[in-house]
Structures are given as structure tokens and as C-alpha cells.
Amino acid sequence: MGRRAKNKQGAPMPLHDPNAETRPSTKKLGKRKANLDEGDAQPVTKKIRSGGKDKSAGGKAKSAPPKKAPKKHAAGSDDGWEDVVDEADLKSQTKLLFNDSDEDEPTGFTGDLHDIGSDDDDLMLGPAEELDLGSDDEEDEPQLIKRHKKSKQSVRPTKIIPTASDASSSDEESDEDGRTTMANMEARSRALDAEALLDADLDADEMQLAVEAAAAEDDDVEMEGEIDDDGDAFVLPTPQEREEEKSVGGPNVQLVQRRMRECARVLGNFKRFAAKGRSRSEYTDQLIADIASYYGYNDFLAEKLFLLFPVAEAIEFFEANEVPRPVTIRTNTLRTRRRDLAQTLVNRGVTLEPIGKWTNVGLQVFESSVPIGATPEYLAGHYMLQAASSFLPVIALAPQPKERILDMASAPGGKTTHIAALLQNTGAVFANDSNKHRTKSLTANVHRLGCKNVVVCSYDGREFPKVMGGFDRVLLDAPCSGTGVISKDSSVKVNKSERDFVLLSHLQKQLILCAIDSVSPESKTGGYLVYSTCSVMVEENEAVVDYALRKRPNVKLVETGLEFGREGYTKFRGKAFNPAVKLTRRFYPHVHNMDGFFVAKFKVEKRAKAKKEDEEEDVAEDVIVQEDGEVTMEPKVTFDPAEDKPYLEEATRRRMKAKGLRPIPRTVNATA
């Protein structure tokens, strides 16, 4: 499969840039030179790149910050940090940590930061029942073992953009030569951010700009498009030429890049730029084919993903999948506080900062001179290596102390342990996963993080609520295609077919009904279900939610409570969903610098109440649960006693007459 020639994504955006959702890129494109730093022309199907730009891959790598004690920070600052502990406290805490940790633990994670985030689960193979649908973005077993799978993303750019939501002043200059402390860390991160942005003259931007410039119909826009080195204008190949091209092993990289830019430009303003006699679909087909070969997708998935977005944005999405997401950790509040954890890790040579204002437990790791998956704090369960997107469903679930919670598909337990922490080890979390093997890492994480309120079990989620029901809240972090986490698992690019999506959607629909039925509508504090996936596909997200709304009239969608994220689709390629689906939230790598993710939150109400509401709204249908558990809508059978009274009287009279009795006199207006 084709690989990109170099790491060309623009500067990674902040983890959630609140403005990003509403802004498509606003930059303008000039004509772009063919990319010449990729060596000689070569077929796209060859591996080309490994290192990325010098600067990003290594040129700017800073040495680990000196391990001096950091300055004490102002108490209660509102910069995203809590108070910083005294050095003395820190020492005693570190000592404690060593005491806590099991000295017999196998030593050392030997990989780099990026290795930690990789996920070696098999996703979609075979029918739904047989699948190991372990797509997730959390750590499995404690991260002591170097992961084997190395994709091209294994070269982590040193610059991971800090959170714009936390950025405040631009006048704090970073002091490259001095030590990194809690006080200057943010300023340094911002400086890196600014540098990264300056460096961002990359392909995705350029293609984006091509489209925008075209759409703007600006007079300055070059009408004729790109002229190649031989002075030839771009000509869209005919289907026959494409076939010929394929037969000789595909086009060279420069040609593909140029064609992608040109097709994007034309599709940005078709009327103006299309060649006479060529259709929009010809340009679209060519662009999709080139995306597939350039980024290494199968044609089916390339098209499916392409169709999710406007042209320029689609390219940004594909580009974002080529770059790893920031390494993030979640503080385990059962064991420590974020400021204490941060302080300790800083002293070990880790550069980090709070992820953003939307979470008070997350930290983004920029650099580390120690393996972040094998620090004493890690082993002592002070944090979980967890993708930022994985915080979202638990924030939406908002578990309350003392509640009973079901995590229906929970291994390896990133979200389970987060829920347990929010419950402050009260109540109970039933952490289920159908894959027994995966429950081992779940159990290991539960122990490491000191969760005492978790019960691990292994059922097919579809057996709930028969196994157990009446939960205050249920999380269904469903098995999915993993199309939101391609940067972590590039095998998704080639191993998904139409059948996979049909089966997955089917399984997700079955699971969501069982999840709904496991929620107690009578819960005093809850009565909620959160459905999430790390997929960007509509059939795994909005279509599943829409199905649940149709099949269970006693549920309604409510706000997720998440501060950002794009609204779910209410219409998609000819399909219309319940308008309330707008309340669901989508997250994207190219917009939020997070894994692609989807979150929906439902309130479950009593069935009787739901029926009553239906009647009030004059809904002429009833919910019928069939023997096989299928729920259908059927016309209501109504009975009006006043209307039937004369008929009943007449029947009584006839019966009395037949028995030789004197019938009761007819009442006025009685029907004869």
C-alpha cells in the first residue's frame, strides 16, 4: 500500500480548539510547486517516507528538561493547574510511590511515547457474533512491554500542540536554555506551538486552499491550474488512461499529488474550472482513487470516508490520519491529584500540561526522558494512559457517587476506571466484556488503579438485562470499525469492507436496545445511557441512535454536556434521522486533534409514562415486544365504554329474552 512521502500534516491543532469546529480553514492557496523533496518519481505503491520533516521528526527535539525542583506555583491559579505541592511533600510522596509499587513488576517499557498508544486488537473479522471487536484507544495490560506494531506514525513529531483553550498571554517568551518548570512550561509549549504553526506549509493546507480559492472565484485565482515542469497544463485522465496507468504499476507520487490538488481545485468550483465535457463524478472518482493510493486505503473505505466531508475537509481528515494524536494521560483521582502527579512527572523529565479546561484530570505529554508507561507513578496506578477522546463518554455519563453503573463493553478498562474514580470508589461498576481474554487487562487495570467498586464479568452484552438490570447509568462504548483511530491502527485502511459495516451496525443496534433495557427508569439520580464509538461512520453512529429512538419510544436524546464537538448528522446522503440526533456529538482528528469519536446520551423513561405521552400526542401506534425480543410498532386498539354502552345493553336484552325473562327497557338513544 502506498505511503505518503513525508509527514506533511500542518501543525497539529490543540486538543480541542473551540474555534476549529466552526471554521473551515481560511488560508488561500497559491500555485504550489510539485513536491520535489521526495526523490525521483516512483510508483505510489512503494513505501516512501519514514522520518517526516527534519524539524518535526528530530531537528527540534529538545533535550529532557533538567531535573531541578520546580518553582512553587501560585495557589489556586486559574491557568488549568491546581496548586503545586511543596518539594518536601513531593519527596515523601515519591517515596511512598516506590513503597506502593510492586518491586517484582517486570521492568520497563522500552518503547517510545507513540508505542504506548497503539492498539493491537483485531477489529472486524467474520460475522458479528464471532468478532473480536476490540477497537479501543486505551492501554491494555500495564504498558511494560514494547508494542510490536510500528506504523509509519511511529516517528512521533516532537511538537504536539498545547491547548489553545488554556493559552492566555503571548508575551511570555519561552527560555529554551533554562529549565522547564511548572511556571514556564505553558509558555514553552506555546512557543513550540507558534513555531509549529509557522512550519505548516503542508499539503493538506494547500489542497484546502486550492478548493477555497476556487470557491471564492477570486480574480487572482489561476484559472488554468497548475503547469507541470514540462510546461503542460493538467488534463484529467480518461478511464482508459487510468486503466493503462494501473497496468504499469500506478502513477508516480508527484503526478498523484498534482492530480489531487487539481481535482480538489476543480471540485471547489466545478462550473468555472472543469474541463469541457468532463463530469463532476469523473473528477471525484479520480480524486478518490488517488486518495486511496496515496494514503494507502482500499477504494471502498477511501470513498466512504471521503463522502463524509466537503472535498477540502476530506483531505484534511486523511492527512490527520497520517499523524499520531497527542499522548495524554488521565490522573487517577483515587490515588493522587493532577497537580501532584504533574509535579512528580515534571521532576522525572516529563514535559506536560493540562489537556484543556474541559477536563480537570487530563494531562498532555509533550516530551519525556522516561518511559511514560513504566514510571513508578504509572505502576502505582496514579494515572492511565488514555486518549483524550476517551474521556468524553465518561464525562457525558456523569456518574454520581453510590450509583450502580454498567459498562457493557469495557475492556481494557480506561473508561471503567474513570467511572470508578468519579464514583469515588462508592456504588458499583459492573465492567463487562464479551472477550474473556481482554478482561485480563481490564482486571489488571482495575487493580493497578485501586478501584474497589468494580465487578468484572464476561457476557455477551446482548444478554443484558437478563443477566442483571436496573442500573442507574449504562455506558455502551460499542465495538466498532475503528475508523476514528486510523492514526493508531493503519490496518483499518485496508481491512474493512461493506459487509463489516453492515454487521457492525447490526450488532450495535442489538447492543443499544439491551443497554437501554438495562437502565432503570426509576433511578432517583440517573436513568441515563451513553452510547459511544471510535468510528466516524454514520451507520455506526447516528443510524444506531436513530434506530434506538424508533424502537424504544421511552428514550429520548439529551445534551451530552460536552463543551465542544460537532453536531451529529440529521440527514446524510438521502437518509433523514430523528431531528434530535443533532444532540449527539462528533469529534474529529483534523478538527479537535483527537481520535475520531462519537457520543450520544439518552434519558430512559418509564414505559408506561412513555405510552401515556404517546396517547396524549395522539400517536396511533403501540410498542409491542415480540417473543423474540423484537420491538415493533402496531396500531393502537382502543376501547371507548360510552360508545359501546348501547350495544352492550342490547346484547343483555337479547340474552334475557332468550332465557324467558322480561328484558330491561331500552334507555333513551339506545341503538336497536
Ligand X SMILES: C[S@@+](CC[C@H](N)C(=O)[O-])C[C@H]1O[C@@H](n2cnc3c(N)ncnc32)[C@H](O)[C@@H]1O
Does 135 interact with ligand X (rule: CB under 6 A)? yes
| Residue (261 or 496) nearer to ligand X, CB | 496
Do the annotations mark residue 228 as ligand-binding? Answer: no
Q: What does the alpha-carbon distance between residue 135 and residue 510 come to, in Å, rounded to a whole number?
A: 18
Are the CB atoms for 79 and 356 separated by under 8 Å?
Answer: no
Question: Which run of H or of E encompasses 542?
Answer: helix 542-551
Q: What does the alpha-carbon distance between residue 499 and residue 323 come to, in Å, rounded to a whole number?
A: 28
- Contact pick of 138, 166, 340, 517 for ligand X (by CB under 6 A): 138
Do the annotations mark residue 412 as ligand-binding? Answer: yes
User: What are the counts of helices (DSSP H) followed by strands (DSSP E) for the chain?
Assistant: 22, 17
**DSSP line for 241-296:** HHHHHHHTT--BHHHHHHHHHHHHHHHHTHHHHSPTT--HHHHHHHHHHHHHHHHT
Do the annotations mark residue 411 as ligand-binding? Answer: yes
Closest CB 587 distance from ligand X, rounded Å: 15
Does 509 interact with ligand X (rule: CB under 6 A)? no
Q: Could you tell me the sign of the dihedral formed by the alpha carbons of 634, 635, 639, 640, in that order?
A: positive
Closest CB 390 distance from ligand X, rounded Å: 6
- Contact pick of 117, 461, 527, 568 for ligand X (by CB under 6 A): 461
| Contacts of ligand X in 398-437 (CB under 6 A) | 408-415, 433-435
Closest CB 372 distance from ligand X, rounded Å: 18
| Residue (408 or 513) nearer to ligand X, CB | 408
Q: Which three cell numbers stand for residue 114?
A: 507513540
Q: How many residues touch ligand X (CB under 6 A)?
A: 24
Residue 282: name the closest of 254, 338, 242, 222 by CA. Answer: 242
Residue 509: name the closest of 548, 467, 558, 553 by CA. Answer: 548
Does 565 interact with ligand X (rule: CB under 6 A)? no
Do the annotations mark residue 600 as ligand-binding? Answer: no
Closest CB 109 distance from ligand X, rounded Å: 19
- Contact pick of 479, 521, 526, 589 for ligand X (by CB under 6 A): 479
Closest CB 13 distance from ligand X, rounded Å: 24
| Residue (129 or 217) nearer to ligand X, CB | 129
Closest CB 450 distance from ligand X, rounded Å: 17
Which range, of 91-99, 109-117, 128-136, 373-381, touches ligand X by CB under 6 A? Answer: 128-136
| Residue (295 or 464) nearer to ligand X, CB | 464
Q: What does the alpha-carbon distance between residue 491 and residue 122 come to, in Å, rounded to a whole number?
A: 9
| Residue (138 or 605) nearer to ligand X, CB | 138
Residue 309: HSE in the Cβ half-sphere, 13 Å Cα cutoff: 22
For residue 271, the tally of other CB atoms under 10 A from its CB is: 8
| Contacts of ligand X in 592-611 (CB under 6 A) | none
Q: Which three cell numbers stand for residue 509?
A: 443496534
Does 119 interact with ligand X (rule: CB under 6 A)? no
Q: What does the alpha-carbon distance between residue 345 and residue 353 come to, in Å, rounded to a whole number?
A: 11
Does 136 interact with ligand X (rule: CB under 6 A)? yes
Catalytic residue among 263, 480, 514, 534: 534
Do the annotations mark residue 433 as ligand-binding? Answer: yes
Cα of 13 vs its chain's centroid, Å: 16
| Residue (355 or 411) nearer to ligand X, CB | 411
Q: Cell 527534519 maps to which residue?
A: 54
Beta strand pairing status for 621-625 and 631-635? antiparallel
Catalytic residue check, 534: yes
Do the annotations mark residue 413 as ligand-binding? Answer: yes
Do the annotations mark residue 118 as ligand-binding? Answer: no
Which range, of 84-92, 132-140, 158-166, 288-296, touches ligand X by CB under 6 A? Answer: 132-140
Q: Cell 463524509 maps to which residue?
A: 308
Do the annotations mark residue 409 as ligand-binding? Answer: yes
The count of residues in the chain is 672
Residue 588: name the closest of 372, 391, 333, 313 by CA. Answer: 313
| Contacts of ligand X in 54-83 (CB under 6 A) | none
**CA angle, 593 then 597 then 602, to 5°:** 135
**DSSP line for 296-333:** T--HHHHHHHHTTS-HHHHHHHHHHTTSPPPEEEEE-T
- Contact pick of 90, 133, 210, 545 for ligand X (by CB under 6 A): 133
- Contact pick of 203, 212, 477, 517 for ligand X (by CB under 6 A): 477
Closest CB 469 distance from ligand X, rounded Å: 15
Closest CB 499 distance from ligand X, rounded Å: 17
Do the annotations mark residue 410 as ligand-binding? Answer: yes
| Residue (315 or 363) nearer to ligand X, CB | 363
| Residue (28 or 462) nearer to ligand X, CB | 462
Positions that interact with ligand X (CB under 6 A)? 132-136, 138, 390, 408-415, 433-435, 438, 460-462, 477, 479
Show which residues are catalytic.
534
Binding site listing: 409-415, 433, 460, 477
Q: Which residues are annotated as a binding site for S-adenosyl-L-methionine?
A: 409-415, 433, 460, 477
